[in-house]
Structure 1
Amino acid sequence: MEGQAAARSGGRVTSADVAREAGVSRTTVSFVLNGTKGQTIPEPTRRRVLEAATRLRYAPSAEARTLSRGRSDVVLLHQPPQLPLTDLGALAEFLSAEFAAVGLTTVIHPWSPKPAGDVWTAITPVAVLAWDLPDSDVAAMRRNGVRAVVSLTAESDPVAQWVWGAREHSIARLQVERLLMAGHRRLGYARPHDERLAEASERRLDALERVCAEHGVTAPVAMATPSDDEGAGAAVDAVAAWREMTPAVTGVCAHDAVAALAVLAGLRELGLTVPADLAVIGAVDSPAARLAAPPLTMVAVDMRGTARHLVQAVTSLLEGRPLPVGPEVTEVIERRSV
């Protein structure tokens, strides 16, 4: 038939092809495939339409779904520069799966100096989840029909408050308390050298300082720990500076696995060992942390739990419900560096 010919020729199968294949009107096809309420379609007709759609491998276009539902089903995830790629990959994977479970499709757009650009106007998303989103873009999106906008760097955004408040404070608390439990009273902070991580680094340092104050110890001494070849000597300088202080820094909270590995490299260059000369605890576990020598004690962040909460927050905004309370997504993974 004509629809089968269209499918064989590689052309996109349309609802008109399905209607011809099933011997019904396009309106009937729309009612059946969209499950339109209030329409009485005879069961044999409904079955004939579904069988025709299956034979032709019919998939409605995004535009058709938008028109039939009165809204898009696309969520734009604007790729952040603040997360290491390994963490971002896991988070994006879980976000895509969790959004798919509630009938939404995730589109990921890489970071650029002008984050949103023309992307959101081109794909007309129902929701946007982004980092570094200017207030002007947030306002423009809402004016133009984006029903849920989450800006994860906006202090006023309640979802951002969980990411950078509760979750970040939990990471800092677990790092500090694990080092204190091991007897360390003068702490350091190994901060990343990557400028794209500057804001995340400042937020972590602020959280560490607040936790230290709560426990009556001085604020951690922050040192940059470059991970590239040209800056490798800076890790040695950081370790040497921590040890030369009075009193000396004996325990270090590393921003992430890369910063923790840089500290280990600096210690090796100086002929020092972990944790005898300097204890190290990183954040956001990774295979590299498990394979380090010695294996790194880390604060793990449940990326699936993080993704699930972000999806629940977005769907709550879409449905006009109160935002859910953020879950606890952190825990210490004990290894041999503390």
Structure 2
Amino acid sequence: MPQTPNTQTTNAPSPVPTSADVARLAGVSRATVSYVLNNAEAVRISEPTRRKVRDAAEELGYVPHAAARSLRAGHTRIVLLPTSNVLAGPLHGAFLNELQWALRRLDYTVVQYGSLGLTGDEAARAWAELRPVAVISLGDIVLCARNVATLKRAGARAVITLGPGRVPGAHALVMDQAAVGAKAAAHLVERGRRRIGVVVPQEEGLGFFSEPRLAGARSVASAEVEPLPLAHTEESAAALAARWPSLGLDGVFAYNDEYAMLLMRALQDAGLRVPEDVAVIGADDLLIGRLLRPRLSTVQIEMPTGDHLAALVDRAVREPSHFTERHDLMTAVAVRREST
């Protein structure tokens, strides 16, 4: 009988391209490949040579080995950005997106790390395993000096906290949320309102923003402040609006524009007039708030650009001993419109 040909094929993986392969294809040295692909600024290499190296690397599918590069440099280029448990709102979301783009332009690798449910000690150990050169903690997880030391022992040149205060050993980018509540309450008082409700979102994790905003509102003289728990649902807003007459409140700071729009619609559906019966103010100055009728009064929050903050992070990495430990990042201004 004739032999049946052996049609079995092997699925051996293709060899991983190396920098030596790129150097041969581009006709340059391995050192030149390293300089080009690692964006070394101290070495002058002509643009045609850079283009040849990049084209060769793309043709071969070669990418530099991050771990090897880290060993040579003594640190990674990873900036760890622990994922927030909740969305604080469009303003903060846009700010963080802009920050990530700016860090990438500075040749950092931004790694988002899901940290839901971790304590400060657990988070610090988990983050340290990735050997980041910097950590930007958004405040969902409360860090202490011990946690900062853990990260620095693992090679982090900078631990940066974003929040209302500072942690020993970390650089503080201070966002004074109490000022937002104080500006909103002061505006309502100026409009003749004294019995003021302050919405406290029931969504988990928003206490990082809502608690200092409530404290800020309470700091305003002549204001009687009533906390108002509210979930971001039509049902919760309708239930609050239904019992509004029994609360005796003539103004409300609704945490932000999204909660303000939700509550204002529910109040109007319940037969209450805005601003005659209830003056309503939000925060963040979203465009949609200006499209409502009545137009929504708000607290406008001014924050630095992502480029500005990325430059601060870069300086903290390069000159950790000379970096100022506190930067105030935001200002708040009340904007009066028709709802107050």
Verify same fold: TM over 0.5: yes
Q: How far apart are 1:93 and its partner, in Å?
A: 0.8
Residue aligning to 2:6: none
Distance 1:330 1:268 in 2: 28
Normalized per residue, which structure has more helix? Answer: 1
Residue aligning to 2:3: none
> Which is worse superposed, 184-193 or 140-149?
184-193
What amino acid is aligned across from residue 112 of structure 2 in structure 1?
I
Unaligned runs of 5+ residues in structure 1 are 1-8, 244-248
Distance 1:35 1:24 in 2: 16
Residue aligning to 1:26: 30
Q: How far apart are 1:96 and its partner, in Å?
A: 0.8
Residue aligning to 2:257: 257
Unaligned runs of 5+ residues in structure 2 are 1-12
| 1:156 pairs with one of 161, 166, 180 | 166
| 1:139 pairs with one of 117, 132, 149 | 149
**8 Å Cα contact 1:190/1:263 also seen in 2:** no
Say which SS state the counterpart of residue 220 (structure 1) adopts: strand
Residue aligning to 2:7: none
**8 Å Cα contact 1:255/1:283 also seen in 2:** yes
1:264-322 CA-partner distances (Å, limit 9, x unpaired): 1341242011111111111123344344443311112245x164554344334322233
Residue aligning to 2:55: 54
Say which SS state the counterpart of residue 280 (structure 2) adopts: strand
What amino acid is aligned across from residue 223 of structure 1 in structure 2?
L
- 1:267-278 alignment runs, 5 A limit: 267-278=267-278
Normalization by structure 1: what TM-score?
A: 0.78
Residue aligning to 1:3: none
Instruction: State the superposition RMSD in angstroms.
Output: 3.3
Give the count of matched residue pairs. Answer: 314
Residue aligning to 1:223: 228
**8 Å Cα contact 2:178/2:212 also seen in 1:** no
Normalized per residue, which structure has more strand? Answer: 2
Q: How far apart are 1:327 and its partner, in Å?
A: 4.6
1:3-28 CA-partner distances (Å, limit 9, x unpaired): xxxxxx99765322221113343234
Distance 2:49 2:67 in 1: 25
| 1:332 pairs with one of 315, 331, 334 | 334
**8 Å Cα contact 1:260/1:282 also seen in 2:** yes
Residue aligning to 1:4: none
What amino acid is aligned across from residue 335 of structure 1 in structure 2?
R
Q: How far apart are 1:120 and its partner, in Å?
A: 2.4
What amino acid is aligned across from residue 255 of structure 1 in structure 2?
Y
**Corresponding position: 1:98 with 2:99:** no
Distance 2:28 2:333 in 1: 58
Distance 1:325 1:122 in 2: 28
